[in-house]
């Protein structure tokens, strides 16, 4: 959520910045509601003040043994007036809240202008795109030939957009997770966290998935519980309603969880293979930092995610999302895109974002600023480090051999019992 004070003080300026990302701010309606809010709030508080004052004097009179009936008569109508004013105020505030919760974050000035992913800006590339002296297969063919990927079984057990993994491929999947967790904890200063895979709606409001993106979530019937779409939700919510001391900052967590996404609105896209699933594993990096350090932290965080790809020797590029492609809560996002020979293009494997105080305001994540002595909002960030399923896809496709086997990247071999190759049965 944006700062309501800022919206009041500079509505037009905020509207201009939001227009960059194609969001039209309802300035007239906001101005109108804010004016009503102000008038009603002042009136309500006056009435509350009157009630408090009179009640106190009644208390005093009673203690002094005086007849309080005349005083009671005087306040007879006050209660109704106050109730009406409070109800009106609540209604206006709810209307404003609904609008405010639907406003995305402001794009940072360094974010390129653009409509969609076509306009994202490439920052750098890393690694050599592999050349094959045969026609490279995609991960579905490779994985099925290895006996390690079974989409038909998953369709029988559940439905489309799920996968069953077997044997050496299942182990490879686990090995990737272990490698990522080990690097982030041992080399990048993150502390490992295990969190619930279901969260309540408060948590989802806090990180911004609700109220706007309910259709992307799996909701458990007759409960307030949802399956997490990313570990970002439970992990960032760890500091909801918390005031951190300066020496506790920055906080860095890494968590490995499955992620559940309904993928509503993605009907025809990536229907083949593991690229877009209802359930996938992800190792997630989350940081809570001082406000003056968040852009620095974004660069570092992105580097941490890149380190995994480098360790696996997978070619990738880094792009800055343009204003039109930027996520709802983010002010700036770098996507890491790994090269997939099966598709002959780069595909997203990590998304690293700085949210400024956008999530922190909803979550009331604060620190005690020693300069002011007051609790102030922190900045939150997160990034995938990495999406495990897509990393598996990248390994299978980039390390495939003409005979149908798949080499294991050096860094993974200790996690694979020393095996250097997956071979078809």
Partner RNA sequence: GGAGAGGUGGCAGAGCGGUUGAAUGCAACGGUCUUGAAAACCGUCGAGGGUUAACGCCCUCCCAGGGUUCGAAUCCCUGCCUCUCCGCCA
Question: Which residues are marked as active site?
Answer: 261, 276, 348, 351, 390
CB of 18 to RNA, least distance (A): 21
CB of 64 to RNA, least distance (A): 9
Nearer to RNA, 26 or 42 (CB): 42
For 97-153, give the DSSP string.
HHHHHTPPPPPPTTSPP-SSGGGPEEEEEESPPPP-SS-PPPHHHHHHHTT-EEHHH
Applying CB under 7 A, the residues found at the interface with RNA are: 4-5, 38, 41-42, 44-46, 48-49, 51-56, 58-60, 62-63, 68, 72, 75, 78-79, 243, 366, 374-375
Query: How buried is residue 212: exposed, middle or buried, by Cβ count under 10 Å (0-12/13-18/19+)?
Result: middle
Residue with tokens 């019992």: 417
Answer whether 394's CB lies under 8 Å from 406's CB: no
Nearer to RNA, 48 or 271 (CB): 48
Taking the C-alpha atoms of residue 26 and residue 326, their distance in angstroms, rounded to an integer, is 20
Q: H or E element: which one contains 196?
A: none
Nearer to RNA, 38 or 156 (CB): 38
Longest dimension (CA), the chain: 103
- Closest C-alpha among 102, 124, 123, 103 to residue 111: 123
CB of 56 to RNA, least distance (A): 5
Q: H or E element: which one contains 183?
A: helix 167-187
């Amino acid at each position: 959520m944006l700062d309501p004070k800022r919206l009041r003080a500079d509505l037009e300026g905020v509207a201009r910045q939001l227009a960059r990302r194609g969001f039209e701010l309802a300035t007239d309606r906001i101005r109108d509601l804010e004016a009503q809010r102000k008038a009603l709030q002042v009136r309500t508080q006056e009435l509350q003040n009157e009630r408090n004052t009179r009640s106190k004097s009644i208390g005093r009179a009673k203690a002094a043994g005086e007849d309080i009936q005349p005083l009671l008569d005087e306040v007879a109508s006050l209660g109704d007036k106050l109730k009406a004013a409070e109800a009106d105020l609540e209604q206006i505030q709810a209307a404003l809240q609904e609008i405010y919760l639907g406003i995305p974050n402001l794009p940072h000035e360094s974010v390129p202008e653009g409509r969609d992913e076509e306009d994202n800006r490439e920052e750098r590339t890393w690694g050599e795109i592999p050349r094959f002296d045969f026609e490279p297969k995609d991960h579905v063919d490779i994985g099925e030939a290895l006996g390690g990927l079974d989409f038909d079984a998953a369709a029988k057990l559940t439905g489309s957009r799920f996968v069953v993994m077997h044997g050496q491929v299942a182990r490879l999947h686990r090995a990737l997770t272990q490698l990522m967790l080990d690097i982030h904890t041992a080399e990048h200063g993150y502390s490992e966290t295990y969190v619930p895979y279901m969260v309540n709606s408060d948590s989802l409001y806090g990180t911004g998935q609700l109220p706007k993106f309910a259709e992307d979530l799996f909701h458990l019937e007759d409960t307030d519980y949802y399956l997490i779409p990313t570990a970002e939700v439970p992990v960032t919510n760890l500091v909801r309603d918390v005031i951190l001391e300066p020496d506790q900052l920055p906080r860095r967590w890494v968590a490995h969880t499955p992620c559940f996404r309904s993928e509503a609105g993605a009907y025809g896209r990536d229907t083949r293979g593991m690229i877009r699933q209802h359930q996938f594993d992800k190792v997630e990096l989350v940081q809570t930092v001082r406000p003056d350090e968040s852009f620095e932290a974004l660069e570092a965080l992105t580097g941490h995610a890149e380190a995994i790809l480098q360790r696996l020797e997978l070619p990738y590029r880094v792009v800055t999302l343009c204003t039109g492609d930027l996520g709802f809560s983010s002010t700036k996002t770098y996507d890491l895109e790994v090269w997939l020979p099966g598709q002959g293009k780069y595909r997203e494997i990590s998304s690293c974002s700085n949210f400024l105080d956008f999530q922190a305001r909803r979550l009331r994540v604060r620190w005690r600023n020693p300069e002011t002595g007051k609790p102030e909002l922190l900045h939150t960030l997160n990034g995938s480090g990495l999406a495990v399923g897509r990393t598996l896809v990248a390994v299978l496709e980039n390390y495939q051999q003409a005979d149908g086997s798949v080499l294991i990247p050096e860094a993974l071999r200790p996690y694979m019992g020393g095996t250097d190759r997956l071979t078809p049965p």
